[in-house]
Amino acid sequence: MQVHYFNSKIMFWWLLPLKMMSGFLVRQTMPVCQLTLNVCSTSVRFRMPPIKKRVYTAQAVAFALDAAKRGMSIRQAAARFNVPAGTLRDRLRNKYGKDKKGPSSILNDREEARIVNWMEIAARTGFPVTVKQLRVSVAQFVRLTKKITPFKDGIPGRKWSKLFLRRHKQFSSRKPSILAKHRATVTEPQIRNWFKEVHEYLKEINMTDLLDQPGRIFNLDETAFQLVVKNQKCLAPKEMRHLHTVYANNDKESYTGLFTACADGRLLPPLVLFPYKRRIPAEISLSAPQDWGVDKTDSGWMTGQAFFQFLKTIFQPWLVRENIQLPVVLFVDGHKSHTTLMTTEFCTENQIILVALYPNTTHLTQPLDVSFFGPLKKYWQEQILKYRKKYGMIPITKPQICPLIKEALLNFTSKERAIRSGFMRSGIYPWCPDAINYSSLPSNASMDESNDSSKAMEFPEVKLIRLLESRLTIQQFHEFQQQEKSVEWPGNICDTNLFYLWRNLKITYNDLTNNAQEDNVSNNLKENQMSDDESDFEGFAEDEIDCRGKLPISKCINEKLNYDHYRC
């Protein structure tokens, strides 16, 4: 083919339409194009104009599909709702079968909805879920449901968790507030705010009546039983600079016991954990009482699986056996073993409301820590010393752990009174944030100022009613509560004077508390006008009055009897 050379300025504009001509002309003039572009030293790119995509919503597609199904033609429906006709045809033929793009997720929508619901409940009740806990819980869920998945070793990987959070954008990775100095930095407003949030949560689910029924309020916590008595004072010559005591067991050896108590003073069968990786020897299982729980973990400490088995095999059957009215509320600390998916779902199915105590305040808000574990440890140490005195340097073996704990519980004859005192001093039953000893908080600067509510707790009537309620039996306490508003005592004649004394003290206690709270409201309103920093406490006393559900002051005055006759 002969190549012709033309003027570049003339041929450049003349050759532009050649790209749009037939392939034959393009092939014939290609050398001329190359020559022309080289002479001009200009690169020309031919691009197609961008295709404008029609913008429409999923709601418009739904309306158009509904109109087409009712008899309207596809073209008319597409024009009316501004939706492509091809899209309507594909939807009517169910060409794609799903709305979202890409492959289907490993777990279906219903299964992921269960996980999302668990995460929301866990975050709301004080158990925020980490990404690792999410993967472990999903692995446990897949294993129990026997679902076939491509997960390696049955555990979802990082990519799955990333895509899961992308599908459920209501969750985000956030850092919870961390208390660096632990309990030393906890303040009174934080604890009071926790009481307020728990009451609001129970109010949302219409379960505030639980707070007035001690037989439906429970607390659960673990404690360690060490085989060596530490910090024991002994007598020795003054010239001895170093004093030692010898034990046959290791000073770091300990065993975990899980205890559950009811607000009415009852103690549930405990669970004792032993460090085993395979199975527990029969000698250890037979050494425990029949209704106790004996389980194993690799380290001997509480795990999510052990806690789940305790709820399933001990706690829930006990509720059924004792005919406890459901639902019940269970206060626990924020340990990670209490936050698994299967545990939360089991509690939901069996009407067990899990509530996490405020972090680093279990020494104030956990009833078992307040008044039960301290005396129990003293009786346990007595058993250790008796064993040492009897057997000398023979070490305590694992089959002897449960019998020693049982003996300590039998010697602890005031368990019922200590449990009820713990619930009262922690403010859980009766539901009273003022019952907590806030003076033990090092960072509580507000305790240096005059607090009318705290002063109300120092009245002799308040101390007397606490002492009286701690001496009552469970049956007497329940009967007194049921007849609190009665003018005359219909029960046992032997308890008549005791009932009138308790009721009068109760009325006086309500009057003192309500008056102190009303003074706090007025004081807070005055202080808020001077400082904006204390605006978070506005109206707090009124919320406490509502959540406690006590009698109004007018009724207390009308029903109040002469207390001076019973005063001692």
Q: What residues does each domain of the chain span?
A: 58-93, 109-167, 194-232+245-435, 460-512
Instruction: Show Cβ contacts of residue 294 under 8 Å, excluding neighbours closer than 6 positions.
Output: 271, 272, 274, 280, 284, 285, 288, 402
Q: What type of residue is 553?
A: I
Q: Which of 241-255, 339-353, 379-393 has the lowest mean pLDDT?
A: 241-255
**Taking residues 30-45, what's their average pLDDT?**
46
Q: How confident is the model at residue 393 (pLDDT cuts 50, 70, 90)?
A: confident
Which residue matches tokens 């208390």? 179
Nearest to 333 by CA among 305, 365, 308: 365
> For position 300, what pLDDT does the model report?
87
Q: How far apart are CA 333 and CA 361, in angstroms?
A: 9
Helix, strand or coil, per DSSP, at residue 560: coil
**Taking residues 295-303, what's their average pLDDT?**
89
Which residue has better confidence, 157 or 553? 157
Q: How far apart are CA 25 and CA 7, in angstroms?
A: 19
Specify the fold of 194-232+245-435. Nucleotidyltransferase; domain 5 (3.30.420)
The pLDDT tens digits of the residues spanning 77-109 come to: 988 888 888 888 888 887 765 555 667 788 888
By CB atoms closer than 10 A (0-12, 13-18, 19+), residue 525 is exposed
pLDDT at 22 over 50: no
pLDDT at 187 over 90: no
Q: How confident is the model at residue 453 (pLDDT cuts 50, 70, 90)?
A: very low
Side-chain-side CA neighbours of 40 within 13 Å: the count stands at 18
Helices (H), 45-187: 58-69, 74-81, 85-92, 109-124, 131-145, 158-167
Taking each helix axis as running N to C, give the angle between helix 74-81 and helix 58-69, from 0 to 180 degrees, rounded to the nearest 10. 150
pLDDT at 431 over 80: yes
> For position 31, what pLDDT does the model report?
46
What does the mean pLDDT of the chain come to? 77
